[in-house]
Structure 1
Amino acid sequence: MKSIKTYDNKLQSKLNHLKLHPAYLPHIGLKFNEARTKVLIIAESHYLPEKHNNKFSVADWYHNPKAIYNEIGDDKGWFKTRGVINHYKTVQPLSKGHGIFKNLETAYQTINKDVKLFDECVYFNYFQRPSEEEGETIKVHKIDSEIALENLMVISEVLKPNKIIFVSSAAYKDYEDHVTKEQKDKLPYVGSVPHPSASSWWNRKSKRYGIKGEAVTGRDKFIRIMTPKNK
């Protein structure tokens, strides 16, 4: 079994962005290599506390992050992907921002009640910088889309998942707007579901989430995608 450190070394050797921002390395579940459904779960973006709202330029984030990190200080934990997941797994009571993880994990337990989702999956945010304001949707620039797609392609190449699920409509739309046919051919199945805590469609039925005209919830679609075909 490949270690997380081995994956990290490969990812950082292929992506200078992840050398500059190691906090953005994806969460890799310790049982990912053993999982029947090896899946990448992709959300939208991190954010910083309100005191940092609209302080940092897009260019500095991608090309000159040193000054940003010096000013952020200990708040960089807000966008450390693995730290956010570990915080969710260990801290009670959960904050509102952790609803996405709880709802995903609860849905997954209907398939495998004995395994925690985040022990098996890979998780990261599509956009590779924090949004401008705490808790708000990121304002997407051209470079955000370019680096997000490059990051996805490399993570898929290195980790070799058999499924990719977007849990953010905004991230999935940006992916669809920019991915080429050649890139799609290199990826496994890619699907999307509504945001598990921010969208009412996670628990509301719609024909767009079902098969053959059946109306199901976004949660039902997630469970369908995550269920191994030979189960």
Structure 2
Amino acid sequence: MIKRQSLITQLENVEIYKKYPTLVPYVGENYTKAKNKLLIIAESHYFPKDSVVNFDTWYNAPYEKASLTDKQWKMITTANVLGKYKKKGNPLSSNIVESLFKVEWENAQDKDDVIRYVAFMNAFQRPAQYKESIKSCKLDIDYAQSTISRVIKILQPNIIAFVSKKAYYKCKSALPLTIPYFAVPHPSCCWWNRIMKKHGSGKEQFEAQLRKVINSPIEHIPVI
């Protein structure tokens, strides 16, 4: 069995993560022990209000020039995202963790335990403006696709869950044909709880797809 720290070390050597190490995907303590290795892919981080950053040079600046304030680094720390479910006003983490625990993912004992069995990353490798959905350009998409592809090769998940339709549609070409996946609305948008005629709410879709994985052998799951 590959050790978790070995996976993290490999992730740290991905190009964009050398420059912005806080963007490294979260890998739960028990991810390598999970029966079904789940990689959750959200959309992007965002910077604090009134941050002034030249996004045109985000990808091209030399590593030593990737200098941000302490608050900015904190805002783009992927390892902290799921743990924020304990804080009020964080629907992304709280809704994901609530659903994982509800479906009894990996028979976790509590909500702290359930996040130890999953991996999490953002698709886009630069932050959006304060609390806005990212307005992606071609370079954003190229980096997102190449980074997702590299992360998948390292983590070797059994199932991939996009919790952002925008991220999925921009990055689906990076997905290997051999790993099942599905996509649902972002947990912080209205469609997470609002019922859609064909598929129910985003929450219902997410939980239904996870139950399929739990209750039957993993096979290709069509995107909804």
Q: Shorter-chain TM-score: what band? A: 0.7 to 0.9
Q: CA deviation at 1:33?
A: 1.5
Aligned to 1:189: 180
Q: CA deviation at 1:50?
A: 0.9
Q: CA deviation at 1:56?
A: 2.0
Deviations 1:111-137 (A, max 9, x none): 216253321111111100111x21011
Q: Which of 121, 137, 143 is residue 139 of structure 2 equivalent to?
A: 143
Aligned to 1:69: 67
Matched letter for residue 192 of structure 1: A
Equivalent residue runs for 1:37-116 within 5 Å: 37-52=36-51, 55-64=52-61, 66-70=64-68, 72-86=69-83, 88=84, 94-96=87-89, 98-112=90-104, 114-116=109-111
Cα distance between partner residues in 2 of 1:158 and 1:192: 21
Q: Which of 199, 203, 207 is residue 193 of structure 2 equivalent to?
A: 203
Q: TM-score scaled to structure 2, two decimals?
A: 0.83
Q: CA deviation at 1:62?
A: 1.0
Equivalenced residues, count? 209
Q: CA deviation at 1:204?
A: 2.7
Cα distance between partner residues in 1 of 2:80 and 2:175: 30
Contact 1:153 1:187 survives alignment (8 Å): no
**Residue 206 of structure 2 corresponds to residue 222 of structure 1:** yes
Percent of matched pairs sharing the same residue? 26
Q: CA deviation at 1:101?
A: 1.1
Contact 1:126 1:148 survives alignment (8 Å): yes
Contact 1:50 1:134 survives alignment (8 Å): yes
Q: TM-score scaled to structure 1, two decimals?
A: 0.81
- Change in CA separation of 1:5 and 1:63 when aligned onto 2, cut-off 3 Å: farther
Q: CA deviation at 1:79?
A: 0.3
Contact 1:56 1:68 survives alignment (8 Å): no
Q: CA deviation at 1:95?
A: 3.4
Matched letter for residue 53 of structure 2: F
Cα distance between partner residues in 2 of 1:115 and 1:153: 31
Deviations 1:145-186 (A, max 9, x none): 01111111111111110111111121112124xx1xxx5445
Between Structure 1 and Structure 2, which shows a larger proportion of helix residues?
1
> 5+ unaligned residues in a row in structure 1: which ranges?
210-215
Q: Secondary structure at the match of 2:182?
A: strand
Q: Which of 151, 157, 167 is residue 155 of structure 1 equivalent to?
A: 151
Aligned to 2:220: none
Q: Which of 160, 166, 170 is residue 162 of structure 2 equivalent to?
A: 166
Contact 2:20 2:66 survives alignment (8 Å): no
Matched letter for residue 156 of structure 2: K
- Change in CA separation of 1:194 and 1:68 when aligned onto 2, cut-off 3 Å: same
Cα distance between partner residues in 1 of 2:101 and 2:133: 29
> 5+ unaligned residues in a row in structure 2: which ranges?
218-224
